Amino acid sequence: MRRPGSGRYTVGMNSDVRRTLDSGQKYRWKAELADLANLADDACGIDVRALHAGQILAVKTHYTTYRMQITDPQQGRAIVEGDGSFLTTPTDATIIGATLSGRGSSVANGRVLTGFRLVIAADEGEIITSRVRAVSVDGMPWFSEFHEA
């Protein structure tokens, strides 16, 4: 579905989530827990806890692609490496979950969701990514938020 006036197409989010993210509030919105839960239920994504140890989760954000080899799915543990400014070498980390707030204050635990930021905890601190755009599991596309026509 084409996002009006954006020149981009949206795949994987229903219209309520898209309206919320497109309303100009996506970077300053202080998400309440109930709002996060409602939006998270409607967003496309994956629960890391449903994966198996050894699987590779690739998460493409606006600026960076993160490669995550799952080591303990129930705890959200993975060896994470990014091609951007953070986690540039393989690092033992915990995938905390999805957030809209940009501060990690309201998190959908264990979930990676399109249109949301991802919170990752590592020795160097808590990392909050830019918005998740696409995810693949073991090299197979799982979902994508945007693609060009």
Hey, where are the domains in the chain? 9-147
Mean pLDDT of the chain, nearest integer: 76
What's the rounded Cα separation, in Å, for the pair 36 and 119?
Answer: 14
* pLDDT at residue 141, as a whole number: 82
Looking at beta carbons, which pairs linking 67-72 to residues 24 or more positions away fall under 8 Å? 68/93, 68/95
pLDDT at 148 over 50: no
Mean pLDDT on 99-110:
74
Nearest in space to 68 (alpha carbons), one of 144, 146, 141, 136 = 136
pTM of the model: 0.70
Bridge partners for 77 per DSSP: 72, 94
- Between vectors from CA 144 to CA 77 and to CA 89, what angle results, nearest 5°? 40
Query: Could you report the per-residue pLDDT of 18-68, keeping only the tens digit for each?
Result: 444 554 444 334 445 556 566 666 678 899 999 999 999 999 999 999 999
